[in-house]
Chain A
Amino acid sequence: MTFTALAFAIASRCGLVNIGAEGQFYLGGIAAGLVAIYAPGLGIPVIGGAVVLVLAIIAGFIAGGLWGLIAGWLKVSFGANEVITTVMLNYIASFLNKYLIGYDGPFYDGSGNPQSEAFKVSFERGFFIQNSDMTITIVLAILALVFYFIFFFKMKKGYEMRVVGLNSTAAEYAGIKVKSNALLAMFMAGGFGGLAGVSELLSAQSRILPDFSSGYGFDGVAVALLGQLHPLGMGLSAILFAVLKSGGLAMGNKGTISPYIVNAIQAFVIILVVASVFVQDEYNRRKLIRQAKAPKEE
Chain B
Amino acid sequence: MKQKKGLIIGIIVLVVLLAVGFFAPDNIKNTLASFIAQDLRIALPLAIAAAGLVYEQRSGILNLGAEGMMLTGALFTWIGTSLFGGNPWLGILVGMSSSLIMALLFGFLVITLRSNQTVIGISINILALGLTSTIYRVVQTMNITVNAFPSISDVLSKIPGIGAALTNEVPNGTELALTQIPVIGNFLTTIFSQNIMMYIGIVFIFFLNYVLFKTDLGLKVRAVGEYPKACDTTGINVFKIRYGAVLFSGLLTGFAGGLLVLDIKTFVENVTAGKGFIAVAAVIFGKYTPIGAFGASLVFGGAQAIQYLIQAVGLKAPSDLMNMIPYVVTVVALAGFIGKTHVPAALTVPYTKE
| Top 6 A-B residue pairs of the complex, sorted by shortest distance between their CB atoms | A263-B130, A264-B130, A267-B127, A260-B133, A99-B320, A78-B335
> Does B122 sit within 8 A of A, measured CB to CB?
yes
Mark interface residues in A259-284 (1 if CB within 8 Å of B CB, else 0).
01111111110110011011000000
Whether the Cβ atoms of A274 and B116 lie closer than 8 Å is yes
> Does B179 sit within 8 A of A, measured CB to CB?
no
- Minimal beta-carbon separation of A35 from chain B (angstroms): 22
| A225 and B119 contact, Cβ closer than 8 Å, known pairs A81-B334, A84-B334 | yes
Contact of A74 among B114, B122, B269, B334 (CB under 8 A): B334
A/B interface sample: 19 pairs, CB < 8 A: A17-B118, A79-B338, A85-B331, A88-B327, A89-B327, A89-B331, A91-B324, A95-B327, A96-B320, A99-B321, A104-B318, A105-B318, A257-B134, A260-B130, A260-B269, A261-B130, A271-B127, A274-B120, A275-B109
Residue of B nearest to A259 (CB): B133
State in angstroms the CA–CA spacing of A225 and B126 once bound together: 13
State in angstroms the CA–CA spacing of A278 and B109 once bound together: 9
- Minimal beta-carbon separation of A264 from chain B (angstroms): 3
> Does B205 sit within 8 A of A, measured CB to CB?
no
Whether the Cβ atoms of B129 and A92 lie closer than 8 Å is no
- Minimal beta-carbon separation of A72 from chain B (angstroms): 12
- On chain A, the residues within 8 Å of B61 by CB distance are none
- On chain A, the residues within 8 Å of B171 by CB distance are none
- Minimal beta-carbon separation of B304 from chain A (angstroms): 12
State in angstroms the CA–CA spacing of A277 and B115 once bound together: 8
- Minimal beta-carbon separation of A139 from chain B (angstroms): 29
Residue of B nearest to A264 (CB): B130
Whether the Cβ atoms of B137 and A264 lie closer than 8 Å is no
Size of the B side of the interface (Cβ < 8 Å), in residues, is 49
Whether the Cβ atoms of B320 and A78 lie closer than 8 Å is no
| A270 and B123 contact, Cβ closer than 8 Å, known pairs A88-B331, A275-B109 | yes
Excluding A91-B273, A260-B129, A260-B269, 11 further A-B contacts by CB distance (< 8 Å) are A17-B118, A17-B122, A80-B335, A81-B284, A83-B64, A85-B335, A222-B126, A256-B138, A264-B127, A274-B109, A278-B113
Q: In the complex, how many residue pairs between chain A and chain B have their CB atoms under 8 Å apart?
A: 142
> Does A162 sit within 8 A of B, measured CB to CB?
no
Whether the Cβ atoms of A274 and B331 lie closer than 8 Å is no
> Does A236 sit within 8 A of B, measured CB to CB?
no
> Does A218 sit within 8 A of B, measured CB to CB?
yes
Whether the Cβ atoms of B136 and A258 lie closer than 8 Å is yes
Q: Of residues 220 to 265 in A, which have CB atoms within 8 Å of B's CB atoms?
A: 221-222, 225, 256-258, 260-265
- Minimal beta-carbon separation of B341 from chain A (angstroms): 11
> Does B25 sit within 8 A of A, measured CB to CB?
no
Mark interface residues in B307-345 (1 if CB within 8 Å of A CB, else 0).
000000000001011011001101100111011000000
Residue of A nearest to B113 (CB): A278
Whether the Cβ atoms of A92 and B126 lie closer than 8 Å is no
- On chain B, the residues within 8 Å of A271 by CB distance are 105, 109, 120, 123, 127
Residue of B nearest to A100 (CB): B320
- On chain A, the residues within 8 Å of B330 by CB distance are 84, 88
> Does B230 sit within 8 A of A, measured CB to CB?
no
- On chain A, the residues within 8 Å of B334 by CB distance are 74, 78, 80-81, 84-85
State in angstroms the CA–CA spacing of A270 and B130 once bound together: 14
Whether the Cβ atoms of B324 and A95 lie closer than 8 Å is yes
- On chain A, the residues within 8 Å of B138 by CB distance are 256
| A87 and B137 contact, Cβ closer than 8 Å, known pairs A17-B118, A81-B334 | no
Contact of B277 among A84, A98, A258 (CB under 8 A): A84
Whether the Cβ atoms of A80 and B331 lie closer than 8 Å is yes
> Does A63 sit within 8 A of B, measured CB to CB?
no
- Minimal beta-carbon separation of B318 from chain A (angstroms): 4
Residue of A nearest to B273 (CB): A91
> Does B274 sit within 8 A of A, measured CB to CB?
yes
- Minimal beta-carbon separation of A205 from chain B (angstroms): 20
Whether the Cβ atoms of B331 and A256 lie closer than 8 Å is no
| A102 and B318 contact, Cβ closer than 8 Å, known pairs A74-B334, A91-B324 | yes
Whether the Cβ atoms of B324 and A92 lie closer than 8 Å is yes
> Does A188 sit within 8 A of B, measured CB to CB?
no
- Minimal beta-carbon separation of B253 from chain A (angstroms): 15
- On chain B, the residues within 8 Å of A99 by CB distance are 318, 320-321
Residue of B nearest to A260 (CB): B133
> Does B280 sit within 8 A of A, measured CB to CB?
yes
Whether the Cβ atoms of B324 and A96 lie closer than 8 Å is yes
> Does A19 sit within 8 A of B, measured CB to CB?
yes
State in angstroms the CA–CA spacing of A182 and B127 once bound together: 29
Q: Which of A17, A264, A275 has the most CB of B within 10 A?
A: A264
- On chain B, the residues within 8 Å of A91 by CB distance are 273-274, 324, 327
Contact of B130 among A81, A96, A265 (CB under 8 A): A265
Residue of B nearest to A279 (CB): B113
- Minimal beta-carbon separation of B141 from chain A (angstroms): 8
> Does B18 sit within 8 A of A, measured CB to CB?
no
| A267 and B130 contact, Cβ closer than 8 Å, known pairs A78-B339, A84-B281, A88-B274 | yes
